[in-house]
Structure 1
Amino acid sequence: MDEPTRLDDFLAGGLVAADVLGLRPDYRAMLVAVDGLVPGPGDAAGDALIQAAQDAACEALAGTAVEEVPHVAQWREAYRAFGAKPQRTRNSLEALLRRAAEGLPRVNRLTDLYNAVSVLHQIPIGGEDLNRYSGSPRLVRAAGRETFDTVGGGTDVVEHPEPGEVVWCDEAGVTCRRWNWRQARRTQLSDDTTAAFFILDALGAVTDEALHLAADDLVAHLVRLGPDVRVARRLLADDGGGS
C-alpha cells in the first residue's frame, strides 16, 4: 500500500459519535495526517514560530481574561456539558494561553510546532504519533471501562475515563481524555516520530474558513520537515462529511 493511500485510509475511518455532536452540534474536527517527516531537533524556524505565538497571545490577552476569549469560553461550556469542571481540567488552548506570558513550553519539534499554531489561531490542537495508533481515531462518550495510560506521581499508571466523558480513542484505548485536555503516553510525539496525526478542534466561535486556514498554516510548517512529506486531511462535522 502506498503512503498516500495509507493516510487516506486512516482518516476515512475517523468518526465523531452522534451523542458527542448532541452536546455540541457546532463541533468540527479537522484531521491532518502526515508521513515522511525527517526526525530532528528544534531549529531557528521553530523558535521563531514559538516566539511569534507568545507575542500574539500576550497581545490578544492585553486587558482580556483568558476565560473571556470567545473560543476558550465556548470550550468551557462544552466541558460543563459532559460534567467536567473547566476550572480544574482546562482545554488545551486555555492551558497554553495561560502559560504564554511566562513562555510557552518546549517539548519537541513537532509538539512545539502545533502548540504555536494552536495559540496563533486560538484553536485547540492535539498531535500524536501515527505509527503508534491502532486503527482510526474516534471521538466518543466513554463507557468508563476504557484504558488511558499516563503518569501519576512520577510512575506509569493506567486510568479510566468517567462514564459519559468525551474522549478520543482507537482500538487499543483512549488517546486523549476530556475532548482535548490530556493525551496518552502511548501515542505521544517524540524526537523519532516520522508519521504524525493532528486534530484541530473547532466550535462556533471559529468559522470553517478559519479552521481551514489554521490547518493550512500547520501543514505549511510540517512540509518543511522533510523532502518527501505527504499530507492528507479530512473535516468531520455534524453532516458526517469530510474533505
Structure 2
Amino acid sequence: MAPFFLRHDDAVWAAHPRLRAVAVVVEDVLGLDGTTARQEALRAGVDARVAERTESAMPEIAAWRDAFAAMGLKPTQYRCASEALLRRYRKHGDMPVRHPLVDYLNFVSMRFAIPVAALDVGRVAGGLTIRPAHGTEKYETFQGAAEHPAPGEIVYVDEEGHAHSRRWAFRQSARSVVTDRTGRVLVVAEALHENASEDLDALESELLDGLGVHCGPSMRITPDARLFEFEAAEDGALR
C-alpha cells in the first residue's frame, strides 16, 4: 500500500491566506443510497439563499471571483463551481439527476455556496497537489480532447502530471469524474471568504451526517494543518 495525499502548494497559501478546506473520503460509493431525501432537506436552504441575493452579492462567491481575477480570468466568464450551480438552479428551479453522490454534493455546494469537488480516487495517481500550473500538465475534457492549463493557472495535479481541474474550482477533469463504476471518492470543499472556517464546520457536519457510515478519513485543512494523507492500495482503493 502507498500513501495518498492532498495538499495545497505554498504559493497558493501565500496568495490566498484565508483559504480553508475540508477533505472527506467517501467509501463504498457503489452501495450509497438515501441521498435523495438528504438533498431534498437541503433544498429549503438553497431556495432561501437564491431568494435573498444574487450570486455576485454572496460573500462566498465574491471571494472566488477575486481569486479568479487574481489568476487573470474574467469572473463573469469563468465562474467557480458553486456559482455555476446556483445560477443553473436559479434559472431552472432544479438540477439534473446524474449520480447519487454527485447530486447530493451539488446541493451541499449550493446550500453553502462553496465549491465541492468529488474525485474518483482510483483515477488519481499517487495524490494531489493544488498549485499553479507549469503549462505541461495534461487535462482531459468531457468531449475527449486534451488541454494544457496555462502557466500560473491553479489546478489539481497528480503525481503523473494529470490536471484534475481547470482554473482551480472552475471545472473538473473527465479523468477522475465519479461514475457508476466508482468505488471510493475524495471530496474536497474549499472556501476563501471571511467566515470560511465557521461555514466549513457546518458543511463538514452535513457531510458526516448525510453520508453516515460511508465517511472514511477526513481532515480540516488550515495553514497549520496542510497535508491530508491516508493509505491507498496500488490500484487506488482505500484500506
TM-score, scaled to structure 2: 0.86
The amino acid that maps onto 2:97 is R
- CA gap of 1:218–1:194, structure 2 versus 1, over 3 A, is same
Shift of 1:242: 5.5
Residues 42, 108 of structure 2: 8 Å contact kept: yes
In structure 2, the residue corresponding to 1:232 is in which secondary structure? strand
Q: Distance in 1 between matches of 2:64 and 2:191?
A: 9
Question: 1:206/1:124 Cα in 2 relative to 1: closer, same or farther (>3 Å)?
Answer: farther
How far the C-alpha of 1:49 sits from its partner, in A, is 3.3
Q: Distance in 1 between matches of 2:54 and 2:202?
A: 25
Q: Which residue of 2 aligns with 1:59?
A: 48
CA-to-partner distance for each residue in 1:183-234, whole Å, 9 max, x for gaps?
111111012221110111111333423213212211322235xxxx351112
Aligned equivalent of 2:155: 167
Instruction: After TM superposition, give the deviation of residue 21 of structure 1 in Å.
Output: 1.5
Q: Which residue matches 2:222? A: 237
Letter of the 1:160 partner, please give it.
Answer: H
> Compared with structure 1, are the counterparts of its residues 192 and 88 closer, same or farther at alpha carbon in structure 2 (3 Å cutoff)?
same
Question: Helix, strand or coil for the counterpart of 1:31?
Answer: strand
* 2:35–2:101 Cα contact (<8 Å) kept: no
Structure 1 unmatched runs, 5+: none
1:186 — aligned with what?
Answer: 175
2:96 matched to which residue of 1? 105
Backbone CA RMSD of aligned residues:
2.1
Q: Give the drift of 1:50.
A: 3.4
Question: What letter corresponds to residue 34 of structure 1 in structure 2?
Answer: V
Query: In the aligned structure 2, how far is the partner of 1:84 from the partner of 1:238?
Result: 26
> Which residue number corresponds to residue 85 of structure 1?
74
Structure 1 residues 213 and 56, CA gap change in structure 2 (3 angstroms): closer
Q: Give the conservation status (yes or no) of the 8 Å contact 1:127–1:196.
A: yes
Deviations 1:8-40 (A, max 9, x none): x32xx3211111122211012211113233346
CA distance in 2, matches of 1:23, 1:78: 9
Q: What is the 5 A alignment of 1:63-78?
A: 63-78=52-67
SS in 1 for 2:30: coil
Q: Which residue of 1 aligns with 2:28?
A: 36
- What count of residue pairs does the alignment treat as equivalent? 225
